[in-house]
């Protein structure tokens, strides 16, 4: 009977013999390849941590001992070993999350899948154990070499090392990659550790030879072992970690379960912070992943596991590819335009730019804060940097956007991929806060393009601004058909006009929600409701022409794929109030909740961002006003508007 079927929890691993562990690891890899190929998900990272995950759960007693994952996309094996073997709906509605989830299991601690946070969590949990006198519990933090490039990780290390008698085990899962190969000084340091085995060879020689030397052999070996610090400095540079106050164990072959177990047991016995350095191979056991130089199958869509052909045809061109192609064209015209990203060169579409202009692009590692400040420096030095990150990750650099870029009036363009509802990656990856968070930044401008043509145009408008930060945002989905404009009022595009002088509803649609808003307007027209649909293009600041246009309608409705609190709708309502236009404003956006994982369309339906729901609620709002569809007595004006007339 297969071994994996009998694993219902970590305690079942204790009954396995050393000879059975490689067979279990092989079963897990076969399971992952088949299951993840069926649903899509993070494949390469999990194939690389099979033996490490087994060893962790054989040495430590989860959930009494806390095993923390950074980032959580490498937790699939952990899920299997903690009783969650139904992967049939992985990352789909009602199925397992692609990241740790407290709702799923008591073995999951951290749900946040943003990198470089795990050591801070571990530090806090270890301190809590100390305060409560829990001397029999351990905290284990698993962090990749890519996540170690984040500044938060080093802030935590500084604090962890300060308490040399507080037990805490840090496991560095070193596969030389995050999405792509890890870069930077730390990466070089770890590479040196990977390739240095002189220290172990010298000690092995000393133990074997010196101890056989009569009289002086044993004392000499003791002296040699006591001088290990100096010896390590001479033959292996792990002293950096030990200088911080961390006991260093490794490098260990992360695919030798017994070796990893031995290292972890030694770390478990040490009453202080220990760093266990494990060397793993992303995509291990699956040749197509190993041959994928881009990211070792970091994330895959549903596919045939034998041919790797997609099971679901592509929905068309992605927003990311449109951005990437336009960046290459802009780069040819503007030698001052440079690009930065945070460990995601290919996922955000900068590969082409990097190939065309390698001296003008920097991958700074998982360090969004540094990217923003470095961009401020580049702008001050006479360049125009484009910082491309996922929308959810810009949250991490808000202070730098505010105090380093905006305060200094630096011309920096932030391009936010995966804005709005992303869906299957779950709550921490939805880019639903940027248009609220960034509203408070003085001088900053936000573009929300509705189609590929507008993305190209607005990206160019953004890089033309040299005295303030600009933001261009777009979602994770295929680019739809072009949405033509009938007219332009101020800087806004008029997409539909049912009545020449106004109408019942002014419908303001932000970016990709244009198609949804236009369909809602069609449904309203069937009820006899006249709409004007406008795309503001730049949602911050609110266009000065909008209040005057709004005053010619009975109700204003705003549709955005951002949290409703403090977003575009709130900004429009404030602008109307400031202009003395007293109209009801209805905002249709994302509620102030963390959205569960599901397909994007399913999430939008669940939260009511569909044409039918929007049309119904607008009609209800109209019914509560004194302007009903059956009266056609012309547009409603405020006193201020009448005086101007």
Catalytic residue among 177, 282, 445, 473: 282
CB-based contacts of 165: which residues, under 8 Å, 6+ apart?
271, 272
CA angle 612, 615, 621 (to 5 degrees): 140
- Annotated catalytic residue 600: no
List C-alpha distances in Å: 25 to 21, 22, 39, 108, 593. Answer: 6, 5, 21, 21, 38
Tell me how far apart the alpha carbons of residues 550 and 481 are, in angstroms, rounded to a whole number.
27
Catalytic residue from among 396, 537, 540, 636: 396
Q: Please name the helix (run of DSSP H) or strand (run of DSSP E) that holds residue 540, with its range, or none.
A: strand 538-540
Three-state secondary structure call for residue 435: helix
- Enter the tokens of residue 418: 């995966």
In degrees and rounded to multiples of 5, residue 416 shows phi and psi of -105, 105
Contact 337, 386 (CB under 8 A): yes
Which value, in Å, is the radius of gyration of the alpha carbons in the chain? 28
Residue 161: closest CA among 51, 54, 267, 247: 247
Angle at 20 between CA 15 and CA 26, to 5 degrees: 125
537-540-542 Cα angle (round to 5): 85
Residue 523 · residue 611 · CB < 8 Å: yes
Query: Which uninterrupted H or E stretch holds 21?
Result: helix 21-39
For the chain, give the longest Cα–Cα distance: 112
SS3 letters across 253-311: ECCCHHHHHHHHHHHHHCCCEEEEEEECCCCCCCHHHHCCCCCCCCCECCECCCCCCEC
Q: Check 176, 261, 326, 368 and give the catalytic one.
A: 368
Angle of helix 198-209 relative to helix 228-235, nearest 10 degrees? 140
Helix, strand, or coil (residue 225): helix
Active site residue 473: no
Q: Distance (Å, rounded) from C-alpha 590 to C-alpha 567?
A: 10
Does 396 participate in catalysis according to the annotation? yes
Residues with a known catalytic role: 282, 368, 396
């Amino acid at each position: 009977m297969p071994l994996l079927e009998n694993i219902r929890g970590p305690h079942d691993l204790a009954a396995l013999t050393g000879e059975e562990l490689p067979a279990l690891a092989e079963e897990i890899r076969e399971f992952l390849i088949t299951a993840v190929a069926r649903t899509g998900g993070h494949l390469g990272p999990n194939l690389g941590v099979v033996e490490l995950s087994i060893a962790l759960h054989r040495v430590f007693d989860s959930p009494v001992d806390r095993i923390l994952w950074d980032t959580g996309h490498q937790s699939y094996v952990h899920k299997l070993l903690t009783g969650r073997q139904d992967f049939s709906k992985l990352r789909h509605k009602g199925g397992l999350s692609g990241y740790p989830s407290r709702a799923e299991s008591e073995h999951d601690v951290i749900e946040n899948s943003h990198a470089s946070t795990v050591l801070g969590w571990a530090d806090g949990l270890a301190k809590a154990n100390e305060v409560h006198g829990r001397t029999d519990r351990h905290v284990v933090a698993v962090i990749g070499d890519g996540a170690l490039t984040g500044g938060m990780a080093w802030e935590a290390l500084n604090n962890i090392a300060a308490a040399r008698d507080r037990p805490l085990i840090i496991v560095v899962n070193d596969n030389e990659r995050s999405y792509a190969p890890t870069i930077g000084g730390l990466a070089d340091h770890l590479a040196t550790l990977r390739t240095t085995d002189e220290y172990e060879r010298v000690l092995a020689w000393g133990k074997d030879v010196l101890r056989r030397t009569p009289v002086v052999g044993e004392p000499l070996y003791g002296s040699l072992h006591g001088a290990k610090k100096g010896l390590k400095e001479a033959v292996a540079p792990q002293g950096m970690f030990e200088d911080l106050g961390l006991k260093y164990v490794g490098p260990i072959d992360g695919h030798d379960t017994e070796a990893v177990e031995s290292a972890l047991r030694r770390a478990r016995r040490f009453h202080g912070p220990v760093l266990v350095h494990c060397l793993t191979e992303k995509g291990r056991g699956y040749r197509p992943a190993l041959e994928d130089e881009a990211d070792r199958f970091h994330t895959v869509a549903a596919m045939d596991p034998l041919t790797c052909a997609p099971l679901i045809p592509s929905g068309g061109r992605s927003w990311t590819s449109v951005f990437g192609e336009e960046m290459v064209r802009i780069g040819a015209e503007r030698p001052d335009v440079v690009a930065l990203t945070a460990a995601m060169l290919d996922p955000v579409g900068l590969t082409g730019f990097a190939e065309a202009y390698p001296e003008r692009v920097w991958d700074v590692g998982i360090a969004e804060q540094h990217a923003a400040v470095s961009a401020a420096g580049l702008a001050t030095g006479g360049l125009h940097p484009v910082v491309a990150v996922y929308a959810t990750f810009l949250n991490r650099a808000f202070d730098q956007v505010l105090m380093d870029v905006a305060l200094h009036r630096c011309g920096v363009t932030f391009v936010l991929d995966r804005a709005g509802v992303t869906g299957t990656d779950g709550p921490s990856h939805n880019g639903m806060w940027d248009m609220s968070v960034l509203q408070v930044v003085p001088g900053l401008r936000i573009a929300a393009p509705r189609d590929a043509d507008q993305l190209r145009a607005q990206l160019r408008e953004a890089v033309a601004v040299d005295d303030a930060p600009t933001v261009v945002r777009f979602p994770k989905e295929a680019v739809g058909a072009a949405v033509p404009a009938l007219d332009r009022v101020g800087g806004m595009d008029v997409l539909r006009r049912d009545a020449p002088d106004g109408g019942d509803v002014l419908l303001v649609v932000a970016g990709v929600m244009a198609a949804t808003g236009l369909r809602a307007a069609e449904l309203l027209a069937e009820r006899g409701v006249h709409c004007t649909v406008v795309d503001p293009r730049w949602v911050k600041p609110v266009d000065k022409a909008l209040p005057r246009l709004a005053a010619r309608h009975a109700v204003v409705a705003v549709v955005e794929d951002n949290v409703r609190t403090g977003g575009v709708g709130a900004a429009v309502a404030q602008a109307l109030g400031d202009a003395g236009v007293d109209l009801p404003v209805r905002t249709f956006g994302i509620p102030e909740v963390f959205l569960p994982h599901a397909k994007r369309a399913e999430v939008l339906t669940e939260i009511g961002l569909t044409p039918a729901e929007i049309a119904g609620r607008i009609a209800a709002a109209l019914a509560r006003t004194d302007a009903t569809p059956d009266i056609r007595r012309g547009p409603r004006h405020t006193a201020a508007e009448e005086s101007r007339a």
